[in-house]
Chains A and B, each alone.
Chain A
């Protein structure tokens, strides 16, 4: 588990943590003595870390954050040291009004990072050589809110206005399809969550979820983008400070389950299998409220959940982090009668 700070002043830490043994394996073998996380290695970042991704099959990780859309590449501990060292910077041309880059990584032909802060500035860079491999030629200067590798040639991008763009790196002009946003009001901010395809299945066969700052959730099948698979509304407060922490993710081990966060100090879990396209309000299967109760007294502002993710093996286990520096690992008990 890697956590990083996003404070304004420099001296943000990046910490690679080893979770307690109870969380590492699917089933508890023998007895696991510890409840504590251990700092395996750590580093210092001069800029706030807004996004962090490991580069698969390497000992590198990539981070991004304001004030510009460049990326920082780090070497996670060598044999003799527990310091995460800054290795290089992948610079990007910075226009005005550019925010920080969203990133995703893949190690197919080589370790690549897909990044960009705006739709028209999306590119793939080879991590070690910092060479540009591909530039998506998408029109539009909308802010990019999420992006993902569906496989080493297919890219999925989501703008803050909710537009989905599918790009194929094998096509010179890139853009294959654009899927419009589910609703008209442009004041909403959107983000997306994708699921990794199971071994052997086609990339893009898994539904893509888009989440808006109003709590609207739209599921789309990329093979049939003319209609929505399902639309529902989550009962959430409107995010006060902005939509920068909106996060939606699919459960890797539970079919049709997704989680959302970024509105307040809670994380909602939904079972989308019963949803239709009506846009009705959906009941969450579970709401994690731990971050609200975790902190010190009520005088401070309630914490905001900044990000969440699912445990890769344990089916109902999630990890979430909040603006008060707390990291929670939690699960929920399925009420009897349901599978």
Chain B
């Protein structure tokens, strides 16, 4: 069909024992069960409310929230649902709109009701940007600005020191009425990003806009009428600002209309949530509200019959019903007129048909409508492409990246690109597939003051910039970890400390007196063990570090001296070395 396939976004994340559902979208291309996500993946038997800790909705597009009432009221979920304020305000309107069309126009029965939408929204908790929300004692979430549409957000989900960031749909380039997505250097363990448009290299926005304006201008110049079917919220505002600016610059007189009803509400919401628009709009808001247009007026049904050129924005966007379809029928027969489709059209709608090239349409009552007006398609969708995805990864510095996409796509190149440039692992699971990411959680351990003091007293002064190796005993009790000195640990555990001491006998042939032998040994060791502290004590014994060497005469053989080498367990290595050294005998020449 024309344009990208609109999927049903729904992702389940398990993090540190918590289960979070990200988005709950509907697939607009199907009319049966395939339009909703398969919730049996979550849990076969248990109740969803028990299993899920929360549900997060990124924005109001139906492929991200369309299945929410079905999920919460028909499948059954009573836990919290989080979304931003604009999303909470606008979601129910779009859901109701779609419900009306599906049930009333198409006559479907197994669909959620208006009451269900209301009940579902009662479970929603609205959040502000950059506000840390405690879902429970351990789980917290935070929303970030995503651009794309009014109220769209990216969410960070954090439990302890593990975190995941889910982007939803986002846009890295600002447009005329929305800013660009932004993430701080939150370094999540995993970044989940939409990659449906990752293989697209967009042509320049300027070119696209210029082409659009050229088409509108040409049509209007020759006295034709331009119909632009739009969804109430979304690109319509962008195109309005674009046309308004162009009309002002070119001093054009032809009228531009915005059809009433849903669209008035739309402008109302933009004014209400002005902080969600971009900086330029907010700055100029005081002088002139960007959404109060000078050249764009409210439409009246009767105007469609007025002679002369005009531009009309009318809902709904796919020409499947309502005002836009009415106007289309009136204007289709005149080749001077033009219809510009600014978005994707679901199969079966008039919009889809004319985009596929059909020029004879069957309307109700078997009437054939001949389409002589020009049909154009200009997609102004605001999604991140490959460049945008790389930019976001650069900003957030995740340890792993997961690419989510509608249909099974070959994304090996992007995966390699991400892995090479950022040295992170990149995953691209298919529907129903589970991906496991290993994290390195940081475990905080308290170190006892006594141990700290003792360890720092050994060796050089502590340097804040250098890691320092310390020895202690790790005590794990309940949920706390402590590092204490071994003595302390033994004391706490009520265990006695035992010292292990080894003693070894080395026989040396030396007929001289004991104290002379000792002197010989001392000088020998001092000469060999230059880096060690070798001392000759007044009581006749020698110490090498903490190892003790004493000499006694052999009981039976005066010519043999017995050296007793004694060390503690800790000095095992040095002790063994000394012993083998002494066993080699003393050098002949004694200094």
Contact = CB atoms under 8 A, between A and B. Distances in A.
22 contacts: A11-B420, A30-B357, A31-B355, A31-B356, A31-B357, A33-B2, A33-B355, A33-B379, A35-B203, A35-B208, A35-B378, A35-B379, A36-B201, A38-B199, A39-B201, A42-B417, A44-B420, A80-B410, A82-B410, A83-B413, A83-B416, A84-B413
A282 interface: no
B413 A31 contact: no
A83 B412 contact: yes
Contacts of B200: 36-39
Interface in B193-208: 199-204, 207-208
Interface in A71-115: 77, 80-84
Interface in A23-67: 29-44
Nearest to A39: B199
Given A11-B420, A33-B3, A38 B413 contact: no
Contact of A41 (B3, B201, B375, B413): B413
Contacts of A33: 2-3, 355, 377, 379
Contacts, number: 70
Contacts of B204: 294
A236 interface: no
Interface in A146-179: none
Interface string B81-96: 0000000000000000
A303 to B, nearest CB: 14
A287 interface: no
A17 interface: yes
Contacts of B411: 82
A185 B208 CA distance: 46
Contact of B412 (A29, A34, A81): A81
Nearest to A20: B203
A300 to B, nearest CB: 16
- Among the interface residues B201, B207, B416, which one has the most CB atoms of the partner chain A within 10 A? B201
A224 B355 CA distance: 54
Interface string A280-298: 0000000000000010000
Contacts of A35: 202-203, 207-208, 211, 378-379
Interface in A243-299: 294
- Among the interface residues A17, A81, A82, which one has the most CB atoms of the partner chain B within 10 A? A82
Interface in B167-192: none
B76 to A, nearest CB: 40
B3 A42 contact: no
- Among the interface residues B199, B200, B208, B356, which one has the most CB atoms of the partner chain A within 10 A? B199
Contacts of B410: 41, 77, 80-82
Nearest to A29: B357
Contacts of B420: 11, 44
User: Top 7 nearest A-B pairs by Cβ distance?
Assistant: A30-B357, A82-B410, A42-B413, A33-B2, A37-B201, A39-B199, A36-B200
Interface residues of B, number: 30
A37 B197 CA distance: 11
B149 interface: no
B273 to A, nearest CB: 30
Interface of A: 11, 13, 17, 20, 29-44, 77, 80-84, 294
Interface in B403-423: 410-414, 416-417, 420-421
A43 B413 contact: yes
Contacts of A84: 413
Given A29-B357, A36-B202, A42-B413, 6 more contacts: A13-B417, A31-B356, A31-B377, A42-B414, A42-B417, A81-B410
A294 B206 CA distance: 9
Nearest to B415: A83
Contacts of B377: 31-33
Contacts of A82: 199, 410-413
B201 to A, nearest CB: 4
Nearest to A79: B410
Nearest to B204: A294
A169 to B, nearest CB: 38
- Among the interface residues B356, B377, B378, B410, which one has the most CB atoms of the partner chain A within 10 A? B410
A3 to B, nearest CB: 9
B201 A38 contact: yes
B386 interface: yes
Contacts of A11: 420-421
A17 B201 contact: yes
Contacts of B202: 35-36
A294 B203 CA distance: 11
A264 B208 CA distance: 25
A43 B3 CA distance: 26
A39 B386 contact: yes
A38 B200 CA distance: 4
Contacts of B416: 44, 83
Contacts of A38: 199-201
B231 to A, nearest CB: 17
A40 B379 CA distance: 20
Contacts of A41: 410, 413
A332 to B, nearest CB: 15
A32 B356 CA distance: 8
A13 B376 CA distance: 34
B390 to A, nearest CB: 12
B555 to A, nearest CB: 78
Nearest to A295: B204
A102 to B, nearest CB: 28
B378 A31 contact: no
